Structure 1
């Protein structure tokens, strides 16, 4: 393990927290601005747009929300004409959720708005900064994915 200064580590922790907060806040603002949806609702729609028709439990897992919350939000989205429920052709006991044309349009508008902002910021970086930034973001995604492995079974961090 590489030696590091405690002050450097605290700066890393603060920067990581700031990154999470900024991403969540700004994606939520963009969702409301572009589609008038909550961040959680957008997460559900984004999962279906990416993976196709899915069961509610699968959608909830991809979106990072509980099953009951997903069910409640999907019912509301169905009433608003954004999603539709269909019986599975393979197993009639299963109900799949898919996007309507309106739902696809909402997701597409949100994705396009996000990409426009990303494109502007990416263009402002030098080629070297772009390569470094992508590398660091990929490392961060891997690290963040591994952090939950450090939790003890009861959800607490080891001493």
Structure 2
């Protein structure tokens, strides 16, 4: 027999996995990008040109993984890498116009899908749903800060 807490844990896991799967699927079908690539590009779109290490941190991947993916994205004409104007030893990465279009195309497709689901909810359901999502986001952020025993 499961407890309410077990149901909460399972529902949280299901939500996280569904979001990852669907975002990854949408990225591949609309922009031809992997979820990992899109996560890197989202960081650059949101924060402007960044150092590779900063991109890796924002995306939650290792530096070598970010470097490898960014090299491929550079070959595909999605990003451009150049020496930092502040420190010639460092490399900053920015989106090309093509890269910006790919990321924005993926965002538009996701927003359209979200809009359709949002419109299917009653005004009260929308209010409750948004409140619960915001609370969940805060909880999830705290879970990564909580030391494990």
Per the normalisation by structure 2, the TM-score is 0.96
**Structure 1: which 5+ runs fail to align?**
1-5, 153-157
Determine whether 1:17 maps to 2:17: no
Secondary structure class of the residue paired with 1:19: helix
Alignment partners' CA distance in 1, 2:145 and 2:96: 37
Residue of structure 2 in register with 1:83 after alignment: 79
Equivalent runs, 1:1-159 vs 2, <5 Å: 7-152=3-148, 158=149
Residue of structure 2 in register with 1:155 after alignment: none
Alignment partners' CA distance in 1, 2:79 and 2:144: 32
Alignment partners' CA distance in 1, 2:77 and 2:96: 7
Alignment partners' CA distance in 1, 2:144 and 2:84: 34
Aligned residues: 148
Alignment partners' CA distance in 2, 1:127 and 1:78: 45
Offset, 1:94: 1.4
Secondary structure class of the residue paired with 1:97: strand
Structure with larger Rg: 1
Alignment partners' CA distance in 2, 1:97 and 1:71: 10
Which structure's relative contact order is higher, taking Cα pairs within 8 Å and 6+ residues apart? 2
Give the ranges of 4+ consecutive aligned residues of structure 1 lying more than 3 Å apart after TM superposition. none
Offset, 1:148: 2.0
